Amino acid sequence: MMLKALFICVASSLLVVNDGNIIHRCTLAKILYEEDLDGFEGYSLPDWLCLAFVESNFNISKVNENVDGSFDYGIFQINSRYWCNDYQSHSENFCHVDCQELLSPNLISSIHCAKKIMSGSGGMKNWVEWKLHCLGRPLSYWMTGCHLR
């Protein structure tokens, strides 16, 4: 387990900014902390970091097309069918946001929408990848080397 944690720390350190769309793990932790996500709906910063990693590999501008024709946007891969308007398909747009805003480097729209998703039933279980790779696992190593203040 220690080897796995070391690998993830080293791998995410290499992601410092090889591409302008990748956010460093500790930079993301600081932003999430400043936006009061530590403990939000019972989830810790390591939960949020694990979510961002398994969904987008910390890629702020990731867009993924789904088999149903909807798209997932941004660092948390927020779906266009329910949460944002991509102007390509029908959307409930529960977050009242343009999907392109979820690709912004300031992350505020993504964070606000993710909080709305989290506030509904299911919490982080709404993200399949989080359920598969983060739920019930020790996650504290995601904060290794990060200084929030």
Looking at 34, 38, 41, 72, which residue is catalytic?
72
Kindly name the residue from 19, 36, 38, 55 that is annotated as catalytic: 55
**Is 19 noted as a catalytic residue in this protein?**
no
Using H for helix, E for strand and C for coil, what is the string for 99-141? HHHHHCCCCHHHHHHHHHHHHCCCHHHHCHHHHHHCCCCCCHH
In the annotation, is 34 catalytic? Answer: no
- For 9, other C-beta atoms within 10 Å of its C-beta total 17
Active-site residue set: 55, 72
